[in-house]
Amino acid sequence: MSISTDAAGASGALSALAGLPFAKGHGTGNDFILVADPDGAHEITPAAVAALCDRHRGIGADGLIRAIRSERLPEGRALLETEPAAEWFMDYRNGDGSVSEMCGNGVRVFVHFLLDQGLVELAGGGSVTIGTRAGIKVVTRSANGYAVDMGPWSFIFPDHAAAKSMDSVVHADGLEVPRPALSISMGNPHTVVALAELEELAATRLYEAPEVQPLPEHGTNVEFVVPAEPLVADGAGSITMRVHERGVGETQSCGTGACAAAAAIRYWAGAGAPDDWQVSVPGGVVRVRFLARDGAEHVELSGPAVLVARGTLV
């Protein structure tokens, strides 16, 4: 596969990337362009990312992920001081060229790409430690693809959340009235809105970014979720979700969003809520588990990772 960077309409921003190999992959339909730039030899500007992610004039993707050695980035070097195993850093950019701290589907596809490129090994019950702007993430194989220890979740507005269990208000096109919501950090920001019916979820229009009050400092991803009725089947909680991603728009899936959605529903459900969750998104199903690890509650995300093409930027 050969893609002309001129066709992407931003030849200035892209010409420096000519000759760079890329792969295209996805995790439950959340799709990414992946490039290996081990030594940080390439400047990948926001304009270049936006041009490559353009679905009509570029390769098309929700985001671009650069594989770079942690030692080649200041934020990676900072991580290496305490986490020497984090050899590779996931440099994640949204489709509009903006940087995000973390991507849950992306980190699974990233490890799949590193394996494909022969840059890491993941034998037997082994693990790979990845550096991200939201700290290290440890990735193992799982029955459904890859499992990622996402670390703990937290409230973005802790005082409000503790007092009211909701701390935000969201309005989206198609909803008759603004809805209460809860803002949760998975390293990146999320605001979760629970709806009662799947029909209401389907009627919500996500072409435009929903209005969120108060808006987290660096913007937010917004998840609209419908808990199953009954909530728990076969020991696992079940949620259907759609998402509007910061820096992208509506996507087929969002891994960090699924974690935030499960955390919010579990928090609202209170004592006795399950630790194991199945989150159905337009692009498939991911699993979220809450585990006690190192004296803290960690979130584990698991799901598939697929590569569909390899090519070279020209």
Ligand X SMILES: N[C@@H](CCC[C@H](N)C(=O)O)C(=O)O
Query: Applying CB under 6 A, which of residues 132, 191, 256, 280 lies at the interface with ligand X?
Result: 256
* 30 carries a ligand binding annotation: yes
Q: Is 279 in the site for ligand X (CB under 6 A)?
A: no
Q: Say whether 254 is catalytic.
A: yes
CB contact set of 113 (below 8 Å; sequence gap of 6+): 23, 25, 34, 36, 65, 67, 307
- 28 vs 70 by CB, closer to ligand X: 28
Token readout for 230 is 């009954």
Q: With CB under 6 A, what is the number of residues at the site for ligand X?
A: 19
Name the DSSP class of 95: T
The active-site residue, picked from 254, 286, 288, 301, is 254
Query: Applying CB under 6 A, which of residues 246, 266, 287, 289 lies at the interface with ligand X?
Result: 246
CA-based nearest residue to 311, from 52, 112, 11, 15: 52
Name the DSSP class of 311: E
Q: Is the distance from CB of 225 to CB of 240 less than 8 angstroms?
A: yes
* 145 vs 176: CA distance, rounded Å: 39
Q: Is 51 in the site for ligand X (CB under 6 A)?
A: no
* 195 vs 211: CA distance, rounded Å: 16
Q: Is 183 in the site for ligand X (CB under 6 A)?
A: no
* 145 carries a ligand binding annotation: no
Q: Is 303 in the site for ligand X (CB under 6 A)?
A: no
Query: Applying CB under 6 A, which of residues 58, 76, 97, 106 lies at the interface with ligand X?
Result: 106
* 144 carries a ligand binding annotation: no
CB contact set of 55 (below 8 Å; sequence gap of 6+): none
Q: Is the dihedral of CA 208, 249, 74, 52 positive or negative?
A: negative
Q: Is 97 in the site for ligand X (CB under 6 A)?
A: no
Q: Is 30 in the site for ligand X (CB under 6 A)?
A: yes
- 33 vs 80 by CB, closer to ligand X: 33
Q: Which residues bind ligand X (CB under 6 A)?
A: 30, 63, 94, 100, 103-106, 188, 221, 245-248, 251, 254-257
* Residues with a known catalytic role: 103, 254
Bind-site residues for substrate: 30, 94, 104-105, 188, 221, 245-246, 255-256
